């Protein structure tokens, strides 16, 4: 039988009424990415860190994570402070 | 039919495909289409040519393992999938969002057929479609 165990699992606190994004930039368009932006403090990765691939390009500012097993992009990460203050950041989580 | 050039984001995977977008595209609420927001045009496999990147393609399969849900292992973009069906024969499901020379106007004008794959109703539309 196929292994249906989810590889990447997270919990996130989101007020969808605060809005979501759709963007025509090169990566959002090809993925049809549809995120809600939340503070990193509202996000918990429960399992699957080992299963995440990280795609970066150009400025390499953002981390476009995806599951290396199924190719789904569950969330992305941007550190708002580019000088390494990892305490403030934001995640993009598809609905 | 118009010949389009397509690619993943990082450019490792490149293809050409002959597609008549006026013939329609699909959006489906099945488990994999919904999480990918996959937006394919279905074409005969004979109308598709992979130009580069075969080694970059990861193949995700599940359940019946009938269809191949390919994605680029470098950037995670799903440029196309393949399968065989009674309706279409050997087909490629080409992600129209990956067609580099399709204009926004062409894509916006492409008809969409909605599919309720989540409930195994492959010939009818789901009640809600705005999230797909």
Q: What is the pLDDT of residues B9-67, one digit of tens each?
A: 999 999 999 999 999 999 999 999 999 999 999 999 999 999 999 999 999 999 888 99
Query: A32 and B74 in contact by Cβ < 8 A?
Result: no
pLDDT for position B18: 98
- What ipTM was reported for this prediction? 0.94
Instruction: Scan residues 52-71 of B and list those with Cβ closer than 8 Å to A.
Output: 58, 60-63, 65, 69, 71
Asked if A64 and A50 touch (Cβ cutoff 8 Å), the reply is no
pLDDT for position A6: 58
Based on its alpha-carbon atoms, the radius of gyration of chain A, rounded to whole angstroms, reads 14
The residue ranking higher by pLDDT, A88 or A91, is A91
Asked if B105 and B93 touch (Cβ cutoff 8 Å), the reply is no
The shortest CB-CB distance from A53 to any of B38, B76, B131 is to B76
DSSP string, A39-67: EGGGEEEEE-GGGEEEE--TT--EEEEEE
How far away is chain B from the Cα of A54, in angstroms, using its nearest Cα?
8
Query: B76 and A29 in contact by Cβ < 8 A?
Result: no
pLDDT for position A78: 83
How far away is chain A from the Cα of B30, in angstroms, using its nearest Cα?
14
| Residue B130 at interface with chain A, using a CB cutoff of 8 Å | no
Query: A30 and B65 in contact by Cβ < 8 A?
Result: no
How far away is chain B from the Cα of A72, in angstroms, using its nearest Cα?
6
**A48 dihedral zone (left: phi>0; alpha: psi -120 to 50; beta):** left
Please compute the mean of the pLDDT values over residues A26-32 and round it to a whole number: 96
pLDDT for position B69: 98
Compute φ and ψ for B127, nearest 5 degrees: -65, -40
Please compute the mean of the pLDDT values over residues A21-43 and round it to a whole number: 93
Query: A68 and B58 in contact by Cβ < 8 A?
Result: yes
- Across the A:B interface, residue pairs with CB atoms under 8 Å apart total 64
Which residue is closest to A57 within chain B, CA to CA? B10
> pLDDT at residue A38 above 70?
yes
The residue ranking higher by pLDDT, A5 or B127, is B127
Q: What is the pLDDT of residues A48-82, one digit of tens each?
A: 999 999 999 998 889 999 999 999 999 999 876 44
Query: A31 and B97 in contact by Cβ < 8 A?
Result: yes
Query: B58 and A71 in contact by Cβ < 8 A?
Result: yes
Q: Which of A78, A79, A81 is nearest to A92 (CA)?
A: A78
Asked if A57 and A27 touch (Cβ cutoff 8 Å), the reply is yes
pLDDT for position B11: 98
Q: What is the 3-state secondary structure (H, E, C) of B10-70?
A: CCCCEEEEEECHHHCEEEECCHHHHHHCCCEEEEEHHHEEEEECHHHEEEECCCCCCCEEE
- Compute the distance between CA of residue B55 and CA of residue B94 in angstroms, rounded to an integer: 18
> pLDDT at residue A83 above 60?
no
CA B12 to chain CA centroid, nearest Å:
18
Q: Which of A34, A64, A44 is nearest to A52 (CA)?
A: A64
Query: B60 and A55 in contact by Cβ < 8 A?
Result: no
pLDDT for position A3: 60
- Compute the distance between CA of residue A75 and CA of residue A92 in angstroms, rounded to an integer: 5
């Amino acid at each position: 039988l196929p292994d249906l165990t989810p590889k990447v699992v997270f919990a996130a606190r989101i007020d969808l009424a605060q809005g979501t994004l759709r963007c025509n930039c090169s990566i959002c368009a090809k993925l049809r990415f549809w995120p809600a932006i939340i503070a990193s403090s509202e996000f918990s990765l429960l399992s699957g860190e080992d299963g995440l691939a990280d795609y970066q390009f150009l400025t390499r500012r953002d981390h476009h994570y995806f599951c290396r097993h199924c190719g789904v992009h569950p969330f992305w990460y941007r550190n708002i402070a580019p000088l390494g203050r990892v305490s403030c950041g934001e995640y993009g989580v598809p609905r | 039919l118009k010949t389009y050039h397509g690619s993943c984001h990082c450019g490792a995977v490149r293809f050409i495909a002959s597609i008549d977008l006026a013939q329609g595209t699909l959006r489906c609420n099945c488990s994999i289409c919904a999480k990918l927001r996959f937006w394919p045009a279905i074409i005969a496999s004979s109308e598709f040519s992979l130009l580069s990147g075969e080694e970059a393609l990861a193949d995700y399969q599940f359940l019946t393992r009938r269809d191949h849900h390919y994605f680029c292992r470098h950037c995670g973009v799903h440029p196309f999938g393949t399968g065989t069906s009674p309706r279409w024969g050997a087909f490629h499901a080409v992600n129209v969002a990956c067609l580099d020379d399709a204009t926004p106007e062409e894509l916006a004008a492409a008809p969409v057929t909605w599919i309720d794959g989540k409930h195994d109703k492959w010939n009818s539309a789901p009640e809600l479609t705005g999230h797909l």
